[in-house]
Amino acid sequence: MVFSSWPFIFVFLPVTLLVYFQLNRARRTVLGKAWLVLASLFFYAYWNWVHLPLILVSIGLNFLLGRRLARWPAGGDLRHKRRWLIAGIAANLLALAYYKYIHFITENLAWLWGLPVQMDPVVLPLAISFFTFTQIVYLVDSYRGETGHYDLLNYALFVTFFPHLIAGPIVQHSQIMPQFNSRWTWLPRESNLVKGLLLFGLGLFKKVAIADVFAGWADAGFDGTGPLDLVGAWVASLSYTFQLYFDFSGYCDMAMGVALLFNIWLPVNFNSPYRATSIQDFWRRWHITLSHFLRDHLYIPLGGNRAGRWRTHLNLVITFALGGLWHGASWMFVIWGLLHGLALVVHRLWGGLGWRMPRALAWGLTFLFVNVAWVFFRARDWDSARRVLAGMVDFSSLRTVPLADVPTEALAWSGWLGDALLRAMPAQLVAHLPALLMIALAFCIVPRPNAIHWATTGVTDAKVVAGTLVLVAALVATLASTSSVFLYFNF
């Protein structure tokens, strides 16, 4: 079930809220938690019920192992305890590897050994990357003795709570379970309802009115077959850069907004990353909880920055290469991760020199690098990426293009304005003018305060009115759209 779909907005969410707070009002808080777990499992199974047993088995086994680790005898063998933790993490990663990477692994081994390998397709279960990482975090916390007082119901709610289940944020039990156990969250709170609806409306608008519009131009550029000229290539790359930005930002706003309706504050996962002035700053703002997970559970165990400069650089590259692979079973994701890892190494080397760069230039270089790296993230394969990158440096295509060489469908939008526009500017620019104007608008939006800050601080009547208008506009756009899934649902 997609946050931007009418069944979620008009049926699932209102019914879930109403029943949950009615049970709490009747002092049936345990039943209220059970209702949220059942509703979240329905939310998950609505997409494909076949994989419901997988998440149920995963929850049961991880809970039992976490409970064993959390209640380990004080004088017990710590090496044996550590082996149980490693076995639990390995089991979770093996399940993830089978469902998400088995074809990638076998295809590459077959290519390496020159053997023909045929496998039946394996359907990727929804959200397996996110609930796997969430449960690994729980096992590590259990190993540290921080989860012994949680029962199966609390653990199931921690894993399945539907606002964060499908695409994050990756949460720790200590971030949300104390909130569910607090009596201050058991009944509706007007301030949280207002903030939650404001955030949800802004996120919905970002998704259906901005990200989905950019998607058409990005798909046309990346999924085409012919060569791209300079303008077309930059339109394609920037369209995907902003599609992903507003899609993921919109999802994060909606997830936090929905959680706030239940009086639950999720950790901030997206903090205006395109305002970053360095690649390190970017990763402090983009998918923040994933960055923390990779740092705490991969970079630091590899040695972090404790083993000398060059080992630190290697640890960064390995961490981000694996972080790229986490996004999908493709060498394109690995290349994207390697680029970011190498960029962080360059950032550290530059910082070691003690030199500083003008802020505007630092922002421009950071954004340019992020935009170019997204090409590999979006491209189906190397040829597709090379096609877009080649167009982005094809300055010879800026020469005047005869009108006859411009595809008719590229000018279809202009209507009666077409003749006047073609007299005023090159046909290439006219063909891409709607996208160029939308990209310019996106650049104007990026420096503004982010939605979370706007919606949760200093709520005024003017903000409520503005938020209501945005929500209504977003709902109208939702009913008129095909409601495509969020991009991070694919990961």
Per-residue confidence (pLDDT) for residue 235, from 0 to 100: 94
What pLDDT is attached to residue 318? 95
184-189: long-range contacts (C-beta < 8 A, 24 or more apart)? Answer: 184/263, 185/262, 185/263, 185/264, 186/21, 186/24, 186/25, 186/29, 186/32, 186/263, 187/21, 187/24, 187/25, 188/21, 188/263, 189/263
Residue 448 has a pLDDT of: 85
Res. 418: pLDDT tops 70: no
Please report, as a single letter, which amino acid is at residue 262.
Answer: F
What whole-number distance in Å separates Cα of residue 199 and Cα of residue 452?
7
pTM of the model: 0.89
Report residue 426's pLDDT band, with 50, 70 and 90 as the boundaries: low
CB hemisphere CA count around 331 (13 angstroms): 8
> What is the per-residue pLDDT across 76-98, written as a single tens digit (0 to 9) for each?
788 899 999 999 999 999 999 98
List b or e across 381-417, with b for residues whose CB sees 16 or more CB atoms inside 10 angstroms.
eeebbebbbebbebeebeeeeeeeebeeebbeebeee
| 420-459 core/surface letters (b: 16 or more CB in 10 A; e: else) | ebbeeebbbebbbbebbebbeebeeebeeebbbebbbeee
Which whole-number Å values give the CA distances from 218 to 145, 146, 223, 243, in the listed order? 47, 45, 8, 8
What does the alpha-carbon distance between residue 90 and residue 87 come to, in Å, rounded to a whole number?
5
Q: How far apart, in whole angstroms, are the C-alpha atoms of residue 30 and residue 20?
A: 10
Is the pLDDT at 16 greater than 70? The verdict is yes
pLDDT at residue 411 is higher than 70: no
On the question of pLDDT at 157 being above 80, the answer is yes
Name the residue with tokens 């404790």.
306
The yes-or-no verdict on residue 144 having pLDDT over 70 is yes
Confidence (pLDDT) at 315: 94
The predicted pLDDT at position 243 comes to: 95
**End-to-end Cα spacing for the chain:** 16
What token pair was written down for 49?
């019920």
Portion of the chain with pLDDT greater than 70, in percent: 89
Residue 313: per-residue pLDDT: 93
Task: Give catalytic residue positions.
Answer: 327
Inform me whether the pLDDT recorded for 116 exceeds 80: no
Collect all residues with Cβ–Cβ distance below 8 Å to 62 and sequence separation of at least 6: 88, 92, 135, 138, 139, 155, 159
Average pLDDT (106-122) is 75
